[in-house]
Amino acid sequence: MALLRALGLRGLFIKLVLMFMIVGFGALFIVSILMSQFNASRYESSIRGVINGLDRQQFNASATAANLRDKAACDALASKIFWNLVDTGVTQMLDFPAMFSYFHDGKLQVKIINDQGILCSTLPAATPLLDQAMIEAAQSSQPEVLHRQGEDWALITRINLPAGDGVQALVGVHYWSQWQIYDEVLSGTVSDYIRTFILINSMGASVAALFVWRLLRRIKRATNAADQWAAGDLRTRIKDNSKDEFGRLAERFNNMADALSKSFDMQKALAISVERNRIARDLHDTAKQRSFVLGLKLTELEYEAQQHAPLLPTVESARRLADHLQKDLENVVSGFNLPAIADHGLHETLVRSVRDLLSGSGIQWSIDWPDRIGAQLDTAPELAQELLMITHEAIANALRHSQCRNIHIACKPGHPWHWSVTDDGHGFDTAGAPIGMGLSNMRWRANTLPGGDLALSSSPKGTIVDISFELPVLAKS
């Protein structure tokens, strides 16, 4: 394996070699089965032709001239039929010499019988399968008997001899399935070369087809993912779990998509932050300054109205409204001008925002979650920005309405995650309270989060704003 790596031969090369071996063995196994069936059929047809080609007239003449009750004469006739069969087989079958070398163990035999039983037979004794087939042939009136046992079979042909008493010669051949192996090794016929050529080419074509098919499937998956990326969907991934060169390339493309997605999210968050700061500056330089001037004018008017008692309540009410307007603008500008998460991270941004918002109020506050959670949330800047805005709104509401002394912010990971803002103020009736812009905005922001939802609970002991959401898979990685 080390040598293959040194030569650069790994991954797809090893897969191709293994695939060739597997397909090659499979093709060889299938071809062997098919050739076994073909050889069995071919040998059966060839041996039947050899037996039918025996010189029966010569046997009849020999049987007429001999006294077959004489053991020596009977053996001579049986031997003559045996060797005539061998000569015919050698002449008509190219495979016969290889087959004949295994006839010494009783797979070819001639028996001469009459009505009383066996007169004589050639040596060696017949195999059990051949002997059983000859017994069936002696009891049958058919000129030919084929007895099968698994892949082996025995063919018996009956030759009637003109010697009286129903004298007959039974010529039997036992086909042995292993002949085909020796035939393939020992016989250099054209058909063998053609068969080998077809086998090798079928193996090569099978391997090439299978390899190209699998490679095209993987390329198609990569192409589909690239099309999705081009359409703007960077969440799509190339699904390829292989560890070869193509698999590692797919993994690098997936990492590239992750990096681009994070970069785009950061750029978007930064653009939002820049736009919020621009709006905050515009409000500060226009509406806030004008509301301040309006407050001054109303203060002057209130002083002048001391001389006109009927106008004094109206002027005082207008001045108080101007003060509220200026305070609201300060809150809006403060919310828009939150520090950028992309610059400082969620924890530091949240600390700065809460500190600025509660400065001078006397309210104690705390933030509770592990550092690793903040790091995970930083990888989802849009989600973190929404959580920051919801927290800012919840704290501003507590500051204006709850008369609380403590505010606690916490985050708990899980399925789903939970982000909560808790105060110890006097609370309010959540069912009867009017739904203002602040609460509506918080619900709207919570619903934009993945799996997001906002739960609000309040009692005389305090108020809890709980946001549940799912952290995107990309942010977890």
Structural contact between residues 68 and 167, judged by C-beta atoms closer than 8 angstroms = yes
Cα separations in angstroms, 307 against 161, 298, 320 = 160, 15, 20
* Inter-residue contact 125 to 131 (CB < 8 Å): yes
Beta bridge partner(s), residue 337 = none
Considering 151, 167, 193, which residue would you say is the last residue of a domain?
193
Cα–Cα distance for residue pair 453/449, rounded to 1 Å: 8
Q: Look at the chain and report how many structural domains it folds into.
A: 2
Residue 240 has what pLDDT? 83
Q: What is the structure's pLDDT at 407? A: 95
Question: Edge-to-edge strand order for the sheet containing 168-175?
Answer: 117-121, 108-114, 168-175, 152-160, 144-149
DSSP 104: G
DSSP one-letter string for 140-185: --SSEEEEEETTEEEEEEEEE-SSSTT-EEEEEEEE-TTHHHHHHH
Whether 141 maps to a domain, the answer reads: yes
Position 261, amino acid: S
- pTM equals 0.38
Q: How far apart are CA 387 and CA 95, in angstroms?
A: 88
Dihedral angle, C-alpha 187, 190, 192, 196, nearest 10 °: 140
User: Does 325 reside within a domain?
Assistant: no
Is the preceding peptide bond at 124 cis, omega within 30 degrees of 0?
Answer: yes
pLDDT of residue 352: 83
| The residue type at 176 | W
DSSP state of 247: H
Which of 160, 193, 226 is the C-terminal boundary of a domain?
193
Taking the chain (477 residues) in consecutive chunks of 10 residues, what is each chunk's mean pLDDT? 44 62 70 70 77 80 82 90 83 68 76 88 88 89 86 86 84 75 46 64 68 78 87 83 81 84 72 67 61 70 73 72 66 55 77 82 88 80 84 87 92 91 89 67 86 91 93 64
* Interatomic CA distance for residues 78 and 100, integer angstroms: 17
In a domain, 267, yes or no: no
449: domain range? 346-477
- List of residues 6+ apart from 452 with CB closer than 8 A: 446, 467, 468, 469, 470
Query: Residue 166 domain-assigned?
Result: yes
- Per DSSP (E only), the strands in 9-64 are none
On the CB side of 463, how many CA atoms lie within 13 Å of its CA?
20
The answer to whether 93 touches 111, Cβ cutoff 8 Å, is: no
Written as one string, the DSSP assignment of 402-449 is I--SEEEEEEE-SSSEEEEEEE-S----TTTS---HHHHHHHHHHHHS
Q: Hey, what amino acid is at 385?
A: Q
What's the angle, vertex CA 392, arms to CA 387 and CA 394, rounded to 5? 95
For residue 226, being part of any structural domain is answered with no
Helix (H, G, I), strand (E, B) or coil at 109: strand
d(CA 451, CA 467): 10
User: Which CATH number covers residue 39?
Assistant: 3.30.450
Please give the structure tokens belonging to residue 86: 């061998």
The residue with tokens 């509770």 is: 368
**Final residue in a domain of this structure, among 129, 158, 193:** 193
**Residue 468 has what pLDDT?**
95
Half-sphere exposure of 161 (CA within 13 A, CB side): 30
Does residue 398 fall inside a structural domain? Answer: yes
Structure tokens at 368: 């509770």
What length does the chain have?
A: 477
276 in any annotated domain:
no
Q: What CATH number is given to the structural domain containing 384?
A: 3.30.565.10
Distances, alpha carbon 370 to alpha carbons 352, 376, 388, in Å: 18, 10, 17
CA distance 443 to 430: 14
Q: What is d(CA 208, CA 245) in angstroms, rounded to the nearest whole number?
A: 18
Evaluate whether residue 256 is within a structural domain. no
